[in-house]
Structure 1
Amino acid sequence: MRRDNEFRYSRLAHILREQIMSGFIKPGQYLLSENELCKYYGLSRTSVRKSLEQLQKEGLIVKKVGQGTIVAPDLVIPTGERRTLRILAASPSHFVDNCLGLMIEAFQNSYPHVDVKLLSFPSWNFWDSLSAGGELGPWPDLVLVTDRNFAEADGSAAFCDLSAIMAETIGDMYPRVIEPFRKSGAQLAVPATFSPVYLAYNPELFARFGVAEPRPGWTKEELLEAAGQLTVDLDGDGMIDYYGLSLSSYFSRWPVVALQNGVKFGGVGERERAELAESLAFFHDAIYRKRVATLYQNWRSRINADAFPRGKAAMVMTTTIEMAGWRSEHLPFEAKIASLPFGPVPSTLLVANAFMMPEQCPDRELAAAFLRLALDPALQKRIAAETGFLSCLPGVNEAVWDPASLALLNIAGGRIENGLFAHELFADLDKLDELDTEMDLFWAGLESAESLAGRMADILAKD
């Protein structure tokens, strides 16, 4: 735990240092308040204060009593003749923490005369931060976004069509992954990694409590039965020590259950309401009626916040991106993949990280060189083997992953079967946020699945 806390505060110090040294926050300007830094970066006040103390020791910031913290007014940022590649990324990010560094290292080995500067802004106001940064200082050469960031782009910044620059690589990628990053015929983003949401399990807990591991094609009822056997009060004090399942209220997870039950989130008919109610009832069954699942809600806490990486829950819906982050923090067991058993439709959600190149990119030549190297099959194979990330290149995954695992992820024969990104389910992402807000009572066990399904259908029906 101590190592994790040190990692968190040193990472924030790096983020703020790069914002200062790149000129995004200029000498004499105020940083966000401690409360805002805690909120936006998902950190404790202790971690934020340690970050600020480190920057103060370096002479980069000055604390003004009762007013806040400013960049040192007399700070001089050195300039040189070396070229600089600036990459802007959303934070927090498992991809940035565990994968992007390998790409930057490989790039600097090939281009030793180039400095790479990584800037990070909170995901919640990512595009506003980019616009503000462009007004105050140099634009980034590349922007690393999630699929959700991409869908939320408001047009305040224009981006290059990467079709010609990355033509050869794009042609080798999974069509299902590359196509959702096109708008009006232009390839505005090129994904660097992706993952389906899948079911992972801890084989050590299954063995410890004498429960058979999931078989291919198992059912929802079999999952709940196994979860019951894996939910254990070891000392008889009335408190559960191990849960069979960890469930998340976050919108990148729970809709998988609905998709597997045939829910089309654009529909609002009686059949749709019934399918949605059936899907939602699964969560109340697992969490409140059978009490075989724990609910994971605080997504801002990220590493080790979920019971699964702590070895306290036997199964979880996750992604290879999240799993890579857990592994980097020394996951105490080797997780396995189980088939998703929630309904008759073999569907799931997809998530991705992708690169975009702003029209205002200061150095398109360098940016294009970085993209080509980052997505080179040899480097992609190394990253996949070392971190567990999935590549967007079928040949890489087939060389690194075993066929059985790829099949369980619905990836086979160079294709991705029945996977959808959230922005393909919801053309209007404001509705997604509205639905998320409306679910608070449901997750607390204070509203029935039928009642919530009705209200959700009404929201989806609105123009």
Structure 2
Amino acid sequence: MKSKISRKTFQSRLDEMVLRLRQDIANARYAPGSYLPAESALAEQFHLSNKSVRKGLEQLAEEGLIHKINRVGNRVAEPIGQRKTIVTMGCPSIIERDLEMARLIADFQEQYPWIEVRTVTYAAESSAASSSFDKMARSYLENGLMDVMVLNNSQFQEMVEADAVNLFEPLPINGEMYPFVMSPFTDNGEMYVQPVAFSPIILCYNRQHFREGGLLEPDSSWTWSDVLQISDRISKPEDRYGLYFHLLSENRWPIFLLQSAANADASADTNANASSPDHEWLNGARVVQEITQNRRIYPGYITESRDDVNTLFLQGKVSMIMSSYFSMNEFKQASIDYDISPLPYLDRPATLLIILGMAISRSSKNKEAAKLLTSYLASHRAQQQLRDMTLSIPVVKTIAEQRPSSAAGNELNRPAHEAMFRELFPTFRLHKHLQLTVAEQHALRNLLKRFWSGIIDEKMLIDEFTQLQQSFTPQ
């Protein structure tokens, strides 16, 4: 009995045919005005059915590369002078490091030589003072200044809360991706952002420091109490500190609240709620205070960004940091001997999931070219390059869970437990699991900053946050 060909194998052959024909047209192997081989010949060459071949040729026709002439064949289109379609992509300034975006864009433009991608950069995180990402996004999208926008799941949440998802074009679901990277970009059954890469927040540590102290390396059993004890033993006054992290990052401080719960077996849907009567999240706030006020293990250095933390770690000034696979790209060419483990926990294991994706402006005048770009970044070709060139985790499951394919990818300074992310899936949480709007999260952050600085006590913290929540509640 003939075995059934998997859908994955079929799709890869179809993708190969389209890519090969596209390259042959770009390289003038098939000159303008000439005809492609017959559908039957292409079917035999790429081991596809005639129906599948026609599907691929229709894609090339939509791209303007060929004209389908009934009962004659598929003629290569004449080039339109030297004019290119310009796709403007808005992205955080740090995206080059996290995704090697320049190299991906260069590869994309090699596949689609009639498209030029131009980038506009903006801050990686929303303003600490107010929820402002949606305002920035609106100004760009409504004025037609961006065709494609890179954003994370927290920023998409802000767009949903601002009733602004209508600015984005709905996108198709990709069954090859982890489901958990798509659902945070979905609203009312429609996905509006194409996921590209993801990362949990993890603990990153200097292995040499642990060997010097004769200490066992961190593992998933560690609590924050364990970290405090080990940090005290590994710290060397005026030389190095045991622990550090950029506390005010929107991807750091919420973790302590998400790990706080009266019921350690609570599900992801009943996470720490900052508005609960018992104020369970205070456990996390107290732990942060205990850590950051201990000047033996935690430096009093005022960071401006996560880059400051990475610099101290590379200099050997701190032994453990809260990090992400994205941030570890700072170490991929360094000589530091480091590894990773799950974050220590408080009442229960939990970590934040950060997902980067691309949305298409619904008002884009170059929508077809923009769709080609987003589709490319989710393709096996781009996802494999992402796996080979960075430490960021691709969203296509089969590629994320295999070793890098290139020699260059294997030469990067990768942590020994790089594949650990697969064991953390049950602990993944999102900002929205705080059950606060983005605006409320910003307000709580500013109050916690005052609490951790000793300006207000716990009672004042609770009272002021209760008043703030009342001001956010519609009358």
Give the TM-score normalised by the residue count of structure 1.
0.70
Map of 1:174 onto structure 2: 178
Residues of 2 paired with 1:344 and 1:404: CA distance?
28
Map of 1:82 onto structure 2: 84
Q: Residue type matched to 1:405 in 2?
A: H
Residues of 2 paired with 1:406 and 1:417: CA distance?
17
Residues of 2 paired with 1:336 and 1:95: CA distance?
23
Contact 1:268 1:458 in 2 (8 A): no
SS at structure 1 position matched to 2:100: helix
1:351 counterpart (351, 354, 371): 354
Shift of 1:403: 12
Matched, 1:420 2:429: yes
Matched, 1:161 2:170: yes
Residues of 1 paired with 2:419 and 2:117: CA distance?
38
Contact 2:146 2:364 in 1 (8 A): yes
SS at structure 2 position matched to 1:197: strand
Matched, 1:121 2:133: no
Matched, 1:319 2:324: yes
Contact 2:218 2:341 in 1 (8 A): yes
Map of 2:60 onto structure 1: none
SS at structure 1 position matched to 2:175: helix
Map of 2:239 onto structure 1: 241
Shift of 1:408: 4.0
Deviations 1:157-189 (A, max 9, x none): 6211102xxx3xx21212122101111111111
Pairing 1:355-366 to 2, within 5 Å after superposition: 355-366=358-369
State how many pairs are aligned: 365
Contact 1:246 1:306 in 2 (8 A): no
Map of 2:103 onto structure 1: 102
Deviates more, 1:292-301 or 1:349-358: 292-301
CA 1:407/1:262 → structure 2, altered by over 3 Å: closer, same or farther? farther
Q: Residue type matched to 2:119 in 1?
A: L
Contact 2:401 2:419 in 1 (8 A): no
Pairing 1:304-343 to 2, within 5 Å after superposition: 307-324=312-329, 326-327=330-331, 330-343=333-346
Contact 1:194 1:390 in 2 (8 A): yes
Q: Residue type matched to 2:438 in 1?
A: L
Contact 1:249 1:297 in 2 (8 A): no
RMSD: 3.1
CA 1:461/1:171 → structure 2, altered by over 3 Å: closer, same or farther? farther
Deviations 1:57-111 (A, max 9, x none): xxxxxxxxxxxxxxxxxxxxxx96122222111x332456642223212201211
Matched, 1:261 2:266: no
Deviates more, 1:149-158 or 1:222-231: 149-158
Contact 1:249 1:443 in 2 (8 A): no
Contact 1:278 1:449 in 2 (8 A): no
Residues of 2 paired with 1:203 and 1:280: CA distance?
29
Structure of larger gyration radius: 2
Residues of 2 paired with 1:322 and 1:133: CA distance?
27
Matched, 1:145 2:147: no
Deviates more, 1:396-405 or 1:437-446: 396-405
Residues of 1 paired with 2:466 and 2:334: CA distance?
40
Deviations 1:347-371 (A, max 9, x none): 1111121100111122222222222
SS at structure 2 position matched to 1:342: coil
CA 1:276/1:323 → structure 2, altered by over 3 Å: closer, same or farther? same
Q: Residue type matched to 1:336 in 2?
A: D
Shift of 1:449: 5.3
Residues of 2 paired with 1:376 and 1:334: CA distance?
33
Q: Residue type matched to 1:148 in 2?
A: S
Map of 2:292 onto structure 1: 287
Residues of 2 paired with 1:126 and 1:381: CA distance?
30
Map of 1:21 onto structure 2: none
Map of 1:204 onto structure 2: 208
Map of 1:186 onto structure 2: 190
CA 1:189/1:297 → structure 2, altered by over 3 Å: closer, same or farther? farther
Deviations 1:318-373 (A, max 9, x none): 1111222x226x54414311222222422111112110011112222222222222
Residues of 1 paired with 2:376 and 2:120: CA distance?
20
Q: Residue type matched to 2:150 in 1?
A: L
CA 1:357/1:93 → structure 2, altered by over 3 Å: closer, same or farther? same
Q: Residue type matched to 2:87 in 1?
A: L
5+ residue gaps, structure 1 = 1-78, 234-239
Deviations 1:244-298 (A, max 9, x none): 000323231122223223273435445x42x323222222222224631236654
Residues of 2 paired with 1:220 and 1:300: CA distance?
23
Contact 2:209 2:234 in 1 (8 A): yes
Contact 1:288 1:445 in 2 (8 A): no
Deviations 1:421-450 (A, max 9, x none): 213424421111111111222232444456
SS at structure 1 position matched to 2:250: coil
Shift of 1:131: 4.0
1:217 counterpart (208, 218, 221): 221
Contact 2:228 2:291 in 1 (8 A): yes
CA 1:369/1:278 → structure 2, altered by over 3 Å: closer, same or farther? same
Residues of 2 paired with 1:295 and 1:184: CA distance?
45
5+ residue gaps, structure 2 = 1-80, 263-270, 405-413
Deviations 1:188-242 (A, max 9, x none): 1121111111111111222233333224413332211110012112xxxxxx321
Map of 2:374 onto structure 1: 371
SS at structure 2 position matched to 1:341: coil
1:384 counterpart (382, 387, 411): 387
Shift of 1:303: 5.6
Map of 1:397 onto structure 2: 400
Map of 2:230 onto structure 1: 226
Residues of 1 paired with 2:120 and 2:88: CA distance?
7
Contact 2:142 2:363 in 1 (8 A): no
Give the TM-score normalised by the residue count of structure 2.
0.68
Residues of 1 paired with 2:180 and 2:378: CA distance?
17
Residues of 2 paired with 1:261 and 1:134: CA distance?
38
